[in-house]
Amino acid sequence: MRGIVCEDVGVFGMTSELPEPELKEGHAIVAIKRIGICGTDYHAFKGNQPFFQYPRILGHELSGVIERIGDNQAGLAQGDLVSVIPYLHCGQCIACRNGKTNCCTDMKVLGVHSDGGMRERVSVPIAHLLKANGLTLDEAAIVEPLAIGAHAVRRANVSAGDNVLVVGSGPIGLGVMAFAKLAGARVIAMDINDERLEFCRSWAKVEQTINALNADAKRSLSDMTDGEFPVVVFDATGNAASMTQSFELAAHGGKLVFVGLVKGDIAFSDPEFHKRELTLMGSRNATVADFQHVMEALEQRTFDINRFITHRSSFEEMIDSFDEWLKPESKVIKAIVEV
């Protein structure tokens, strides 16, 4: 079986000698058709991904077609198009018992903690497959990154009319913006790239944008919110400096949600934090409910996915294309690999 292995930092290898997956009880064999390329994949390739070991088969934004499956209660059958939930939780820990499967204490994420989907076929627990016959292969592959944004918005309990700031306009930040808008919020986007901020306006339909490099960025945010600042700030940058500064951007009594992950420590001013009585939240992965919420939105064609997916390659061309996607001048939002 063919596959692409991240052998070490900065090294991909194509192989045709991967073992075929075995059909185990409670699993299905899925023929992978689309692989979304995520910031996690870029970070792993560059050696910046926490909790990562090499060699590893990357790929966790996945869609495919069921090739083999046994009797099951999920209503899945051979030939079904499916979206993969890549977060393999234990089902036994305190988080899982409380319905927080997204932050299982023994989480194994496909393509991160265990081998992922950059191969022709993969065995996936049936409980981690969602029938996506109403979606395209492309749409089914990007359910996962959009679900991360949907989960963050749900976790922060964003309500209609809330002033919300989203810092970072990568795919995850764009998903946060899109689902905050769907919740009825008034959304402000902050980034350091004016072209990307314009995309936030046209694609995510945010009301206003701020370039974080402007000297008066904080004052602009104050003016946009009548001096009150946003009741929820989402930081989706994975940048320590941005995450540190974000403590000063939330309203008194507001919430700060870290969606992005940085490999290191974050320090902040306790007086600044305390006087606001801020609620600081981490938002990790997503749950089945978030995936279903995204799939319903995609089925209604709420978002223009053709504009969200900016780059694509064949499986054979992926290694060469990956180097190009790493360059800022390529202007990648979401890249898709066709298998």
Please give the structure tokens belonging to residue 234. 């989402």
Please give the structure tokens belonging to residue 301. 């064609």
Q: Give the start-to-end residue ranges of the domains of the chain.
A: 3-141+304-338, 149-282
Ranges of beta strands (E only) in 22-101 are 27-37, 61-69, 81-84, 87-88
Chain segment 49-79, per-residue pLDDT in tens: 777 899 999 999 999 999 999 999 999 999 9
Percent of the chain with pLDDT over 90: 95
Tokens 């008066």 locate to: 216
In this structure, which CATH number among 3.30.465.10, 3.40.50.300, 3.40.1710.10, 3.40.50.720 belongs to the domain 149-282?
3.40.50.720
Closest C-alpha to 57, from 315, 234, 329: 315
What is the reported pLDDT for 48?
Answer: 79
Q: Does domain 3-141+304-338 have CATH number 3.90.180.10?
A: yes
Chain segment 117-139, per-residue pLDDT in tens: 999 999 999 999 999 999 999 99
Please give the structure tokens belonging to residue 240. 């320590």
How many Cα atoms occupy the beta-carbon half-sphere of 301 within 13 Å?
2
The reported pTM is 0.95
Q: Are strands 279-282 and 255-258 parallel, antiparallel or unpaired?
A: parallel
Chain segment 192-240, per-residue pLDDT in tens: 999 999 999 999 999 999 999 999 999 999 999 999 999 999 999 999 9
